[in-house]
């Protein structure tokens, strides 16, 4: 898919990803909330927003580098993008992975773990 304004969309994805990151950081703050007389946390929100943050920022990066990248496909670009993708998209992701691994040798593995928590498309019978 060719996007008319792919760089504008890439910037918007980055901004959305950073907003998700801020929401996750906000949810991490210590709070004492009760629901039905039981203490609750925002752990599920932190995990969901962290996953969405990584997904959107990564998709924005890939869209910035490849006008043909379709950011509407899938929730796990680190896990599934290198398979059957145009060379320019794979090359951009490989450069990103190398840069991240240079800074922190476990970060890509941690990102893939976070991606594994993303929603999965339900299996729908053909009938």
Instruction: Please list the pLDDT of the chain residue by residue as tens digits (127 residues).
Output: 445 688 888 899 999 998 999 998 888 877 777 778 887 778 888 888 999 999 999 999 988 888 878 888 778 888 876 565 666 677 888 888 999 999 999 999 999 988 888 777 667 777 6
Q: Would you say how long the chain is, in residues?
A: 127
Q: According to the model, what pLDDT value does residue 33 have?
A: 76
Q: Collapsing DSSP states into helix, strand and coil, what is residue 10?
A: helix
pLDDT at 85: 64
As to burial, measured by CB atoms within 10 angstroms (0-12 exposed, 13-18 middle, 19+ buried), residue 10 is buried
Rounded to whole angstroms, the Cα distance separating 46 from 122 reads 23
Outline where 1-127 has alpha helix (H).
Answer: 6-27, 43-65, 77-80, 87-103, 107-115
Residue 36: the pLDDT is 85
């Amino acid at each position: 898919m060719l996007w008319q304004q792919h760089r504008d969309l890439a910037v918007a994805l980055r901004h959305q990803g950073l907003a998700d990151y801020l929401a996750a950081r906000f949810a991490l703050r210590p709070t004492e909330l009760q629901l039905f007389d039981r203490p609750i946390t925002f752990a599920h929100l932190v995990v969901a927003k962290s996953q969405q943050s990584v997904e959107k920022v990564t998709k924005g990066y890939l869209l910035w580098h490849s006008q043909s990248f379709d950011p509407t496909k899938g929730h796990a670009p680190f896990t599934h993008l290198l398979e059957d993708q145009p060379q320019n998209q794979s090359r951009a992701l490989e450069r990103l992975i190398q840069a991240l691994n240079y800074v922190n040798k476990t970060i890509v593995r941690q990102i893939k773990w976070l991606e594994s928590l993303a929603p999965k498309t339900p299996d729908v019978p053909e009938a």
